[in-house]
A and B are shown apart, each in its own frame.
Chain A
């Protein structure tokens, strides 16, 4: 006898993935594991890549024409994983088609365009969420839950470091082109900038950042970023994002929160079991929830009830972009940059 897991009669939401790069695989896996949404197709400007991804996903439809995909009545939403510079036009096209959007971070690479995208979805009455996946990882939620429970009183100092080595392709990688990625602060820095702002429950005022082209002097992005954020009610955050550390196998996550009532730490050496083998010492990470799946659920929750409180709001996404832009500007100037300057004329 056939068995059905879907019993509420609601058809799963049809979702197309736009941009069949490596991060799309994570979203695809989350969709496959979901009973509330299904992968309805793949869109990519490269037909070969689109068809290969569609085949790998079990033979779902593919196209190079986003408009055609969005015109399908069985497609209600899109997850976009394209190069950052394309986020704005693609998002606006999806809003105009009346579909929902989960946009890989950053939402866009400028504050005005981020605001414009959010406004377009407001006007369309559909949901846009930026995929700041770290918010949905166990470690980030454990820290947030502790702070929410008053464990450290009012948090006043946060340190967050995500340090690793080179993971990108060669010089042709679009991430390495600031015109396409917005720079490393927009590409990866926004993860940390968003996370600490969420943890500190405060509004950023200014950013002082320093960047480094560590892997090669010719890099046009900063593979190591250090970002200091000052907050409105008086708190400081120091974030480090690195893809320039050696050895390239380094995989480091370090959290320190000092509050008025205590100190919270997720020590770097506590992140897994130590494995010592003939080829050296490594860390075995603990089992953890799939952040992409938790994030997908949060997005589907927002689509199901747009008025409910959201795990990641459009305003959060705009703020993350503004922090990323302020970071790049601060590195260029060697001076702190205020959020007011970056957000000039843009509603928060």
Chain B
């Protein structure tokens, strides 16, 4: 392993849905092509036999050492600098905390935790350990969004006072935890990254329109931020559409209105648009959002600084999601406590 290359332990092979494995579908390919990382080990989530079997299969396939007997042993490996955690959601927080306590840097699949209280536990340990704990809110690294963050921060539209966002996925397997839990972190993180303004008040509507099950597949969040900025975010999973790959984004956009201008961000662009007899599709060259997320992970580890986004950012998003759930049930807006540190 060359100088500056970070050894990666892949821990856990799940997502938020029954057929999801974000580790192998998203993070492993990105680690594999990134110069700054080398996958050195795999381990299953403790107490999850299927997950451990997946780790063994992957280790065999990649020619990695056989997975360690238990998590402590896996985390004791000095070749491991970074732990990529895709443990099932109910075991995720414990896995992240164990990795942080072992002095490792952590990349955590989203959502970092299912509740704000659990996210806060992780953030507290991360603050104590001084290692990087990066929640995988990778949409903020989208080239359109990253450029827009710079433009807004630079005053291009003056003082922003409203953001409208749509994050609508088409097709794929519905998340049993609901799409609020599954997807909200992405657009909420983008809105927070664009504006730098924490949320004070949440009104939400949760509905089930496309699936038969009980879990929500559509959420509307009406957020009131510091400095009076308001944002409205639609989040959902519609039925499949011919021009969108399964579980791809059918609509992904943000409009930032400011005192001196308007910025429209269409995250379905830039794209080469292909139109064919069966359907049309879009492609683009260049680093993907997960690749750019790993750039941030590497930069934060190398510089010895907290990552952006940080675990604290994930806590605030989890608070918003918790409040949305409460509001969705009560039908009334929910005020958030304002004694948290800033989300920047």
- Partner-B contacts on A (CB < 8 A): 156-157, 159, 161, 163, 206, 208, 210, 212, 214, 224, 226, 228, 230, 234, 236, 238, 240, 242, 245-247, 250, 252, 256, 258, 260-263, 265, 268-269, 334-336
Contacts and interface: CB of A to CB of B under 8 A. Distances in A.
B250 A263 contact: yes
Contacts of A206: 331
Interface in B212-230: 218, 220, 222, 224, 228, 230
Interface string B59-89: 0000000000000000000000000000000
Nearest to A268: B264
Contacts of A250: 262
A250 B157 CA distance: 13
Contacts of B161: 212, 214, 224
B182 interface: no
A238 B230 contact: no
A263 B241 contact: yes
Given A212-B161, A262-B241, A263-B238, A159 B166 contact: yes
B305 interface: no
A77 to B, nearest CB: 41
Closest 4 CB pairs of A and B: A156-B209, A210-B230, A236-B220, A246-B260
B115 interface: no
Contacts of B232: 226, 228, 238
A204 B241 CA distance: 29
A247 B258 CA distance: 10
A212 B207 contact: no
Contacts of B164: 159, 161, 238, 240
Contacts of B333: 208, 334-335
Contact of B261 (A161, A210, A247, A334): A247
A236 B205 contact: yes
Given A208-B333, A336-B331, 12 more contacts: A157-B236, A161-B164, A163-B257, A206-B331, A236-B218, A236-B220, A247-B261, A252-B262, A258-B218, A262-B238, A263-B168, A263-B238
A212 B236 CA distance: 27
Interface in B131-151: none
B308 interface: no
A234 B222 contact: no
A247 B157 CA distance: 10
Interface residues of B, number: 37
Chain B CB count within 10 A is highest, among A156, A224, A261, A269, for: A156
B274 to A, nearest CB: 19
Given A228-B205, A256-B251, A335 B332 contact: yes
Interface string B256-279: 011111101000000000000000
A212 B257 CA distance: 12
A260 B218 CA distance: 12
A69 B258 CA distance: 48
A212 B209 contact: no
Given A230-B205, A246-B259, A246-B261, A156 B230 contact: no
Given A210-B222, A212-B161, A228-B205, A269 B264 contact: yes
B344 interface: no
B165 to A, nearest CB: 11
A214 B157 CA distance: 14
Interface in B299-340: 331-333
Contacts of A268: 264
B203 interface: yes
B234 A157 contact: yes
B284 interface: no
B214 to A, nearest CB: 14
B9 to A, nearest CB: 41
Interface in B191-218: 201, 203, 205, 207, 209-210, 218
B57 interface: no
A32 B209 CA distance: 48
B239 A159 contact: no
Interface string B227-259: 010101010101101000000001100000111
B162 A224 contact: yes
A146 B205 CA distance: 26
Chain A CB count within 10 A is highest, among B164, B205, B210, B257, for: B257
